[in-house]
Amino acid sequence: MTVEPGTLVLAGTPIGDIADAPPRLAEELAGADVVAAEDTRRLRRLTQALGVTPKGRVVSYFEGNETARTPELVQELLGGARVLLVTDAGMPSVSDPGYRLVAAAVEQDIRVTAVPGPSAVLTALALSGLPVDRFCFEGFLPRKAGERLSRLREVVEEQRTLVYFESTHRIDETLVAMASVFGEERRAAVCRELTKTYEEVRRGGLGELAAWAAEGVRGEITVVVEGAPAKGAGELDAEELVRRVRVREEAGELRKEAIAAVAVEAGVPKRQVFDAVVAAKRR
């Protein structure tokens, strides 16, 4: 007798306010054959708040055991089980465990569906006051300072709005790095504790936000940064030309090459960029 494969359900969980939980989440928690949770203790608090008792087996599925547990869950799915995957907050696989399981399920032609839920990315975008018609999510930046700067330089000319997650322990360093690479006047918003009691959205230039964060910022944090101005959209001032040359030099380009590249980006003569760099050096 051939057994039809089951279904993998990715369920979004509240990012703060438990009242934001979608009704389908309670239904899936109650009816799934297996519930794979990033933190089983947090899952217990969630089910208690929703007044739900899972009928299925509850297992842990987090970064430390994701590789080993994925094959086990795939076998459950191939055996016809309905497997529900939840993380601590937001949608599984978005800077959370889940990608490996989804990829493995797709490879086996197992149906994958989702219970949409609150999203820190979209919530922060909507509250930021920055353009939201085009954006890209960059997740968490590297912890090491050099790697962090390199990652930021990769998107220094990105015109779409940028969204990052960041730790409360590194937000001050990250904003300083962003101000250095993107410019202190680049607009941004630091969104913390979204949907929670002490929700706060701080908007301003990156330099201003870096100074504010130096005093300490607590909570779950999402940073939204304005994209780079479109090429040719008005002449850049000398300070911005010099900053762009410096960013390229720090990335390993020779000054001559950096000046030529910035001139093309800004749509100005190379001589104008060269003169700006020389003047800055004299100062």
In a domain, 233, yes or no: no
Same domain for 221 and 253, yes or no, is no
144 and 101 in a common domain: no
* Structural domain for 87, as ranges: 7-118
Q: Could you give the angle at which helices 270-282 and 255-266 cross, rounded to 10 degrees?
A: 120
Which of 225, 247, 269 represents a domain boundary (last residue)? 225
In a domain, 57, yes or no: yes
201 part of a folded domain: yes
pTM confidence score: 0.80
CATH number of residue 102's parent domain? 3.40.1010.10
Domain presence at residue 230: no
Are residues 128 and 221 both part of a single domain? yes
> In this predicted model, what pLDDT tens digit does every residue of 121-174 receive, in sequence order?
999 999 999 999 999 999 999 999 999 999 999 999 899 999 999 999 999 999
CA 66 from chain centre, in angstroms, equals 20
Q: What average pLDDT is seen over the chain? A: 93
* The predicted structure's pLDDT at residue 235: 59
CATH code of the domain in which 207 resides: 3.30.950.10
Would the pLDDT of 59 be above 50?
Answer: yes
- Shared-domain flag, residues 14 and 96: yes
Give residue-wise pLDDT tens across range 64-95.
999 999 999 999 999 999 999 999 999 999 88
Q: What is the pLDDT of residues 197-250, one digit of tens each?
A: 999 999 999 999 999 999 899 999 999 999 998 765 445 788 889 998 998 888
- Asked which of 225, 247, 271 is the last residue of a domain, the reply is 225
Count of domains forming the chain: 3
Three-state SS at 84: strand
Q: What does residue 29 show for φ and ψ, rounded to 5 degrees?
A: -60, -35
Locate all alpha helices (DSSP H) within 183-254, ordered by sequence: 206-213, 238-250
Cα separation, 5 vs 33, in Å, equals 13
Mean pLDDT of 7-19: 96
| Model confidence band, residue 191 (pLDDT cutoffs 50, 70, 90) | very high
Same-domain pairing of 140 and 60: no
Asked if residue 179 and residue 100 are part of one domain, the reply reads no
At residue 187 the predicted structure's pLDDT band, cuts being 50, 70 and 90, is very high
Domain-embedded: residue 204 = yes
177 within a domain of the structure (yes/no): yes
What is the structure's pLDDT at 233? 45
Q: What does the alpha-carbon distance between residue 267 and residue 118 come to, in Å, rounded to a whole number?
A: 42
CA distance 235 to 241: 10
